[in-house]
Chains A and B, each alone.
Chain A
Amino acid sequence: MSEKKHNVSRRQFLTYTLTGVGGFMAAGVILPMARFAVDPVLKAGAESDMYAVAEVADLTEEPQRFDFSYEQVDAWYQSEVTETAWIYREGDNIVALSPTCTHLGCTVNWDANEDYPDQFFCPCHFGRFEKDGTNIAGTPPTEPLHKYVTEVRDGTVYLGTAEPQI
């Protein structure tokens, strides 16, 4: 075998194989850890149930606060969490709004600030919303309050997940 026929020199061959093997070993170390770390992004989301929250007979034109609890599975920790909805009736239509401010996630309250009656008010950065959840121009929030999926069965209001209005 003459040396001239080799297009790849001994040194190059060694460089390629060693980087190849080294790269393979490094990938073997890093891959499990990377997949481990990004697991929450790739896990399928839990299916959401509907929860009984209020009686239709109790609803008024004015948004009222209703708390409802459900079992939440947070990885290895299961607990009963309480969520709040502001529900009102508009003719036959039932509107249930999430109290989570669409600015940065604080909690809004109905009619909580004397200066702004009949509005949802957020104490963190003074975000405000109309009764139907529309954000008021000039305040920090950029979209309306999220609206719960609602369903009425036998005079009881069931709520699903809170979805963006736009």
Chain B
Amino acid sequence: MLQRVYDWVDDRLDITPMWRDIADHEVPEHVNPAHHFSAFVYCFGGLTFFITVIQILSGMFLTMYYVPDIVNAYESVRYLQGEVAFGVIVRGMHHWGASLVIVMMFLHTLRVFFTGSYKKPRELNWVVGVLIFFVMLGLGFTGYLLPWDMKAYFATVVGLEIAESVPVVGELTKTLLAGDPEIIGAQTLTRFFAIHVFFLPGALLGLLAAHFIMIRKQGISGPL
């Protein structure tokens, strides 16, 4: 049945070359842990992406309960964590995944560095990777405020204070992030929510696409 549906679509749209091009390619021996166990270091990039997918999915589901409003944010987080079935697990996935994604990304960066994979012709992909790193840090920073508890609030006070200490553009940056020159409050939370849920994920998906297109185009770097 499924085969017939596939054939019907394939007959009209010729989709086989599309997914073949994405999914059907050889894994070189030197990056395949089945051949050399030490090749597991080549998995960190894929693991980073895997956790990123988990972050996106768990985040999507968290917004079913979460409200970015200073009166209700904390209560909504407490409710979704305490009262909703599996709430503690879904929030836990997002919470622990956030740290894990940084760890995986760091290990991936080390692998790329020590195998010299950033060298010509892959310099641009390194640059895109660093941009992804900054976007991830931004996601971590903006997501931290959303539960609107004391820890979140004062971490953001400190974070915005750091932004403000930048010469020349510091105060402007702080006001743009916080939504108010003085108060860290209602507008800060909505802005951080918007940045966390729409702006940075949008940027992240674009950068990831560029990252993956480049690695497919150039192939994985050779053995040491």
Residues of A within 8 A of B (CB): 37-38, 40-41, 45, 72, 74-77, 103-106, 124
B179 at the interface (CB under 8 A from A): yes
**Could you tell me if A104 and B161 are in contact, using CB atoms closer than 8 angstroms?**
yes
| Min CB–CB distance B58 → chain A (angstroms) | 28
A37: which B residues are within 8 A, CB to CB? 176
Q: Give the residues from 155 to 170 in chain B that come closer than 8 angstroms, CB to CB, to chain A.
A: 157-158, 160-162
**Could you tell me if B180 and A74 are in contact, using CB atoms closer than 8 angstroms?**
yes
A38: which B residues are within 8 A, CB to CB? 176
**Could you tell me if B158 and A74 are in contact, using CB atoms closer than 8 angstroms?**
no
**Could you tell me if A74 and B176 are in contact, using CB atoms closer than 8 angstroms?**
no
Which among B60-68, B117-125, B183-191 touches the partner chain? B183-191
**Could you tell me if B158 and A40 are in contact, using CB atoms closer than 8 angstroms?**
no
Residues of B within 8 A of A (CB): 70-71, 154, 157-158, 160-162, 172, 175-176, 178-183, 185-187
B158: which A residues are within 8 A, CB to CB? 104-106, 124
**Could you tell me if B175 and A40 are in contact, using CB atoms closer than 8 angstroms?**
yes
Given contacts A40-B180, A104-B162, contact A74 B172 (CB under 8 A): no
B179: which A residues are within 8 A, CB to CB? 40, 75
B157: which A residues are within 8 A, CB to CB? 104-106
Q: Out of A41, A45, A77, which one reaches B176, CB within 8 Å?
A: A41
Given contacts A74-B180, A104-B162, contact A41 B186 (CB under 8 A): no
- Sorted from nearest, which 7 A-B pairs have the closest CB atoms? A74-B185, A77-B186, A105-B161, A104-B158, A104-B161, A105-B157, A74-B186
Q: Number of contacts between A and B (CB, 8 Å)?
A: 45
Can you add 17 more A-B contacts, CB < 8 Å, to A45-B182, A75-B185, A77-B71? A37-B176, A38-B176, A40-B175, A40-B181, A41-B176, A41-B181, A45-B181, A74-B185, A74-B186, A75-B180, A75-B187, A77-B185, A103-B161, A105-B157, A105-B158, A105-B161, A106-B157
| Bound form: Cα–Cα A105–B71 in Å | 23
| Bound form: Cα–Cα A41–B178 in Å | 10
**Could you tell me if A76 and B176 are in contact, using CB atoms closer than 8 angstroms?**
no
| Min CB–CB distance A51 → chain B (angstroms) | 15
| Bound form: Cα–Cα A40–B179 in Å | 5
| Bound form: Cα–Cα A38–B175 in Å | 9
Query: Can you list 11 A-B contacts with CB-CB less than 8 angstroms, sorted by A residue number?
Result: A37-B176, A40-B175, A40-B180, A41-B175, A45-B181, A75-B180, A75-B185, A75-B187, A77-B185, A103-B161, A105-B157
| Min CB–CB distance A68 → chain B (angstroms) | 16
